[in-house]
Amino acid sequence: MAREEPAREANLAWSEEGVPFAPDYDDVYYSRSGLEQGDLVFVQGSDLPARLGRGEAVTILETGLGLGVNLLAAVRALAEVGAGTLSHASIELHPLPPATMREVHRRLGRGDEATDAFLLAYPELLEEGEASLRLGGHVVPMRLVIGDGAAALRQLDLRADAVFLDGFAPARNPDLWSPEVYAELARLARPGATLATYTAAGAVRAGLDQAGFAVERREGFGLKRHRLAGWRRADG
């Protein structure tokens, strides 16, 4: 799909259904089936509650911070379980300004302590590239690289325990679903790290497999019939 390259700042609109929408990519920020996508597809799809319950330290790597929906779903799981630790690193080509981020969450009506903590830390994350989300006794270090695809991922040096692939749809944002991106994800993910994404596109599955991820198709969410989940192979 041909489009002019938008400005760095996100261009956000609202669909007729009241879902945040990106006109430059002709796609929504999350499933029209609801915000629960962040929990079912990414948190449950990565088995995070059980892993946190065992006291694990989980580093999440996410392609596309967006509205912070998946991060917040993970933070809520941490608060509910009350064990383990989380850290989060993401890339984002078009971040929302703080005022827009606050307005989006106000309109979504999802205000809670986790959302408040995220909105408090978000301006520093945007300005400095690093910040900490503090919720109760939990501290979640966050890192954000503003940039596109593989070039942004190359700026990171970490060992991810869970990978969230949540860019706009592959057909609308191919730069975030490329062999170069998959190779960088494989570099940053430790062997055994989980991987979760809402898409079930065959090209994505094949690309991830070639990069070193074992991927399987699972039951989808809402209107989507299938999604992908998997893990980083030790021999990849």
pLDDT value at residue 220: 66
Global pTM value: 0.92
pLDDT value at residue 145: 97
pLDDT value at residue 172: 87
How much of the chain, in percent, has pLDDT values that exceed 90? 69
- Choose between 199 and 213: higher pLDDT: 213
In a domain, 109, yes or no: yes
Assess whether pLDDT exceeds 50 at residue 2. Answer: no
Strand runs labelled E in the chain? 13-14, 20-22, 27-28, 57-63, 85-92, 130-135, 138-146, 160-165, 189-197, 213-219, 226-232
In a domain, 15, yes or no: no
**Taking Cα atoms as reference points, which of 77, 126, 129 lies closest to residue 101?**
126
pLDDT value at residue 226: 80
In a domain, 60, yes or no: yes
Strand runs labelled E in 64-211? 85-92, 130-135, 138-146, 160-165, 189-197
In a domain, 2, yes or no: no
Question: Residue 116 has which token pair?
Answer: 């408040």
pLDDT tens sequence across 156-186: 999 999 999 988 788 888 889 999 999 999 9
pLDDT tens sequence across 49-87: 999 999 999 999 999 999 999 999 999 999 999 999 999
Residue 5 banded pLDDT, cuts 50, 70, 90: very low
In a domain, 23, yes or no: no
Per-residue pLDDT, averaged over 95-101, amounts to 95
In a domain, 8, yes or no: no
User: Mean pLDDT for the chain?
Assistant: 90
Q: Is 61 helix (H, G, I), strand (E, B) or coil?
A: strand
Q: CB under 8 Å to 211, separation ≥6 — which residues? A: 179, 182, 183, 185, 186, 236
Residue 26 banded pLDDT, cuts 50, 70, 90: confident
C-alpha to C-alpha distance for 89 and 228, rounded to whole angstroms: 21
- The residue range of the domain holding 132 is 33-232
pLDDT value at residue 170: 87
Assess whether pLDDT exceeds 50 at residue 122. Answer: yes
In a domain, 156, yes or no: yes
In a domain, 12, yes or no: no
Residue 4 banded pLDDT, cuts 50, 70, 90: very low
Residue 20 banded pLDDT, cuts 50, 70, 90: confident
Residues linked to residue 133 through DSSP beta bridges, in sequence order: 140
> Which CATH number does the domain housing residue 115 bear?
3.40.50.150
Question: Cα dist. 165→4, 51, 75, 107, 210 in Å?
Answer: 24, 19, 17, 25, 16
pLDDT value at residue 34: 55
Count of structural domains, the chain: 1
Per-residue pLDDT, averaged over 186-204, amounts to 95
Assess whether pLDDT exceeds 90 at residue 196. Answer: yes
